[in-house]
Every structure is written in C-alpha cells, then in structure tokens.
C-alpha cells in the first residue's frame, strides 16, 4: 500500500480511531507523545503513568508493552526476587569491582544506619524503579523501537543495547560513572530477558528486589564487605 493510500485510509477512519492510529505512528503526534513521556521521567514515575495513558488512547494492546498476565503471580514474584537479589550481589561483589568502582555508593550513603530515610526510599525503589523504569525502558521503548526497527533478531539486539544505553545515561547524573556502568549492565540483563519473554511483571519484581537489596546493603553498612567478598 502506498503512503498516499495509507494516508487516505487513515483519513477515512472516525476521528477517535484516526487519533489512535496517529498516536501509535511516528508522525507529529506520535513524536510528541514520545517527547511528553520522556519529559515525564523527570518526575518519576510520571513517565510510566503516561505510558499507560498512551497505551489506552492509542489502543495499543497491553501485551505490546509487556503487560501479560503471568502463568503464576506467586511464581513471578519469587523468580523476580531471587533474580534481583542474586544479580545485585553478583554486581556488587564481582562485576563492579572489576570496573574499579568505589565500594561506597556516595549518592545513597546517607542511608547507612538511617532508619528515618528508609520508608520513602523503599517506596521509591518499588514504584519508581520497579514499576516506573521497567514500564518505560522495557515496555514502552521495546514497543516503540520494535515498531520502528522491526522484530528481527538484529532489531531486538539493537533495541536491547539502545534501551540499556539510555537507561545507564540517566543514572550518570545522580550516581556518576559507576552508577551509569551498573545501570547499563542491568539494562542489558533486564532487556535481554524482556526481549526473550515479552513479559514485564517478573522484571518489575526483579528490579525492585535489586534496588531494595542495594538499600539493605547500604543501610547495614556492608558495602565494603560485600564488594571485597571475592576481590580482597
């Protein structure tokens, strides 16, 4: 079908349907939606909420952004927790030391032995990281890049790396180079899982568990101990 024929078909649709089609596309309205959602990340998890609004208005099936009912809610929860906790310890004890990272996360060191700060930070890790970042950087970005680049293996690999790079770059501003490196690696791991499964619930649990484990390590003042478990 030619572009002219496609445009004609779009114009023939009822206004509400035409709006949904344009919102899913990459014309002015579709690009504006991307920019608005990106801006929403400044006030996380507003970006994720905007993604859900976009999905409803554009009539994008929930499965396209990874919102697929798991075979077992309990199984996904347990798998996510185990994955997230294990991955965090591997990152802290093996991967980040290989990059020469400082054992202490200066951006969050104020949490060490500070119980008054825990509730707000824990809620942030669950809703901003678990729900918010996974919805935007896995669900939304994979849907958009999938529509733009296609569904081939090469396109999925590009999507995994592109989403991880953007995810990591945003962590540079508050956590510096080490935070960006860790976020890129985390984005590659989570993105690979999402590219294979197309499901986001387990990853939301894993992301929240990853960050909550990091908070626990800092709060208990165990950062240096964990960071030197393998490399003394």
pLDDT at 105 over 70: yes
Average pLDDT score over the chain: 92
Q: At residue 228, what are phi and psi to the nearest 5 degrees?
A: -110, 20
pLDDT score, position 7: 47
Could you tell me the sign of the dihedral formed by the alpha carbons of 130, 132, 133, 135, in that order?
positive
pLDDT at 6 over 90: no
| Secondary structure letter of residue 207 according to DSSP | H
CA distance to 19, 69, 80, 141, per residue, from 73 (Å):
35, 8, 10, 24
Kindly report the pTM of this predicted structure: 0.90
211 contacts: CB under 8 Å, gap ≥ 6: 84, 88, 125, 129, 130
pLDDT score, position 3: 43
- The Cα–Cα gap between 227 and 4 comes to 60
pLDDT score, position 103: 93
The 10s digit of each residue's pLDDT in 140-191 is 999 999 999 998 999 999 999 999 999 999 999 889 999 999 999 999 999 9
User: What is the DSSP annotation of 80-121?
Assistant: HHHHHHHHHHHIIIIIHHHTT--SS-GGGGGGTT-GGGHHHH
Q: What percent of the chain has pLDDT over 70?
A: 94
pLDDT at 1 over 60: no
Domain extents in the chain: 68-227
CB-count exposure of residue 119 (10 Å: 0-12, 13-18, 19+) = exposed
As a whole number, mean pLDDT of residues 53-78 equals: 96
The 10s digit of each residue's pLDDT in 27-60 is 999 999 999 999 998 887 899 999 999 999 999 9
> Taking the C-alpha atoms of 38, 43, 46 and 51 in order, what is their torsion angle to the nearest 10 degrees?
10
pLDDT score, position 12: 58
pLDDT band at 17 (very low <50, low <70, confident <90, very high): confident
As a whole number, mean pLDDT of residues 71-91 equals: 97
Q: How many other CB atoms are there within 10 angstroms of residue 157's CB atom?
A: 14
Q: What angle do CA 1, 158, 153 make, to 5 degrees?
A: 70
- The Cα–Cα gap between 170 and 176 comes to 10
| Secondary structure letter of residue 231 according to DSSP | -
Note the Cα 170 to chain centre separation in Å: 11
As a whole number, mean pLDDT of residues 74-93 equals: 97
pLDDT at 100 over 70: yes
Query: 3-state DSSP call for residue 232?
Result: coil
Q: What percent of the chain has pLDDT over 90?
A: 87
User: What is the DSSP annotation of 33-83?
Assistant: HHHHHHHHGGGTTHHHHHHHHHHHHTT--GGGGT----S-HHHHHHHHHHH
Q: Which residue has the tokens 């540079």?
A: 172
pLDDT at 195 over 60: yes
pLDDT score, position 232: 75
């Amino acid at each position: 079908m030619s572009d002219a024929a496609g445009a004609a078909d779009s114009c023939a649709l009822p206004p509400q349907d035409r709006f949904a089609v344009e919102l899913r596309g990459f014309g002015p309205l579709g690009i504006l939606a991307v920019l608005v959602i990106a801006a929403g990340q400044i006030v996380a998890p507003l970006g994720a909420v905007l993604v859900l609004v976009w999905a409803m208005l554009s009539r994008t099936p929930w499965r396209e952004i990874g919102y697929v009912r798991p075979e077992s809610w309990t199984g996904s929860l347990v798998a996510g927790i185990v994955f997230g906790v294990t991955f965090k310890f591997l990152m802290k004890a093996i991967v980040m030391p290989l990059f020469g990272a400082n054992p202490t996360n200066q951006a969050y060191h104020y949490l060490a032995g500070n119980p008054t700060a825990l509730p707000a930070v824990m809620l942030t890790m669950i809703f901003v990281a678990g729900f918010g970042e996974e919805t935007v950087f896995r669900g939304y970005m994979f849907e958009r890049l999938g529509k733009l680049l296609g569904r081939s293996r090469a396109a999925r690999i590009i999507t995994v790396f592109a989403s991880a790079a953007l995810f990591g770059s945003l962590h540079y501003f508050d956590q510096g180079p080490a935070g960006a490196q860790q976020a890129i690696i985390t984005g590659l791991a989570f993105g690979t899982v999402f590219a294979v499964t197309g499901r986001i619930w387990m990853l939301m649990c894993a992301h929240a568990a990853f960050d909550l484990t990091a908070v626990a390590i800092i709060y208990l003042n165990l950062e240096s101990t964990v960071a030197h478990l393998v490399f003394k």
